[in-house]
Amino acid sequence: MLIESFQNDKIKHVTKLLSDNRFRKKSNVFVVEGQQENERALKFDFEPVEFFICENIFKGNIPQGRIHYVSEKIYEKIAYRGSSEGIIGIYKTKESDLSSFKAKENSTIIIVESIEKPGNLGAILRSCEAFGIDALIITDVRADFYNPNVIRSSVGCLFGMKVFQAENKETLDFLSQNQFNIYTTIMDESSEDLYKRDFTNKSAILFGTEHSGLSEFWSGKGQNTLIPMTGSIDSLNLSNAVAITCYESLRQKKLK
C-alpha cells in the first residue's frame, strides 16, 4: 500500500520522532535518512524497526524488514533533506558502558568534554573513523549522539565507532586503570607541539568545549599539548583540531 496522506498515523509518528527529541529518546529509537547511512547502520548490526521508502527516488536494494512505501510528496515532508535518496529508517538505540571497552597496547582514544554542536560531533566521528581512532568518549554530554544532524554530518560513521558517554571522574578512573598516557589541550608554558608527543602507545587526547576549552577538572591531569600554527589566529574549530590530531596519531603508527 502506498501512503499518500499526511494524516496517516505512521507518517504522524515518524514526523514526531523527527521533530521532538524528547519523544524520540523516550521511544528509544532514532531516525536515519539516506542510503549510505542506512547501509552502515545495518552493516554494524543496529536493529531496524521500520523503513519509509519512496520508490520513485530510492535506487538501492530494498532492506529486509517492515517497509512502508510513501509518495514523493510524503517523503519530501518527512525527509530532513527533501528528496534525498528516498529512504528513512527507524532503529533501536544502543547503550554502551565504558567498562566494556578493551584497550589495546597502542589504542588511541579521543575525549571531548561538553560538546554542544551536533555538526561538530558528526565531523569528529567522521575523522575518528577515518583515521583509526579506537574509541570516542563524550563527557558531560550536551549533544545527543542520535540527533539526525550528528548522523548526517558523520555520514553514518557513528555506527562503526565505539562511542561512550561518561562523567569526567569515571573517564579519568578508566584512563588511570588502563595506563593511558593523557594529553590535554590546555595552552600554557608547559605545552608542547602535537608532533612531539608519542601516540604509538596507549594515548588519550582531550578536547574541551567549542567556546571555553577543557574545564578546571582536567587541569594538571595530563601533558598539555597544542597544534603549532603560524597564522595570526590562535585557535581552530573543534572538529578541525580533532581531525589534525587523529591524523597525527595515524601517521605515527604508520611510521613505527
pLDDT in tens, 105-116: 999 999 999 998
Q: What is the 8-class DSSP label of residue 46?
A: P
Give me the pLDDT at residue 82, please: 60
Residues of the chain with CATH 3.40.1280.10: 98-255
pLDDT in tens, 10-41: 999 999 998 898 999 999 999 999 999 999 99
Strands 163-166 and 181-184: unpaired
Mean pLDDT of the chain: 93
Q: How many distinct helices (H) and strands (E) make up the chain?
A: 8, 12
pLDDT at 198 over 90: yes
Give me the pLDDT at residue 141, please: 78
Q: What is the CATH number of domain 98-255?
A: 3.40.1280.10
Q: What is the CATH number of domain 2-92?
A: 3.30.1330.30
Name the band, by pLDDT with cuts 50, 70 and 90, for residue 67.
very high
* Residue 202 near residue 211 (C-beta atoms within 8 A): no
Name the band, by pLDDT with cuts 50, 70 and 90, for residue 203.
very high
- The residue type found at 2 is L
pLDDT in tens, 71-94: 999 999 899 776 579 999 999 999
* Residue 11 near residue 5 (C-beta atoms within 8 A): yes
Give me the pLDDT at residue 83, please: 58
Give me the pLDDT at residue 209, please: 85
pLDDT at 238 over 90: yes
Name the band, by pLDDT with cuts 50, 70 and 90, for residue 185.
very high
Name the band, by pLDDT with cuts 50, 70 and 90, for residue 55.
very high
pLDDT at 46 over 90: yes
**Diameter over CA atoms, the chain:** 67
Give me the pLDDT at residue 123, please: 96
Residues of the chain with CATH 3.30.1330.30: 2-92
Q: What is the pTM of this model?
A: 0.90
pLDDT at 237 over 80: yes
Q: Which of left, alpha, beta for 156 (phi over 0: left; psi -120 to 50: alpha)?
A: left
As a whole number of angstroms, the distance between CA 108 and CA 132 comes to 8
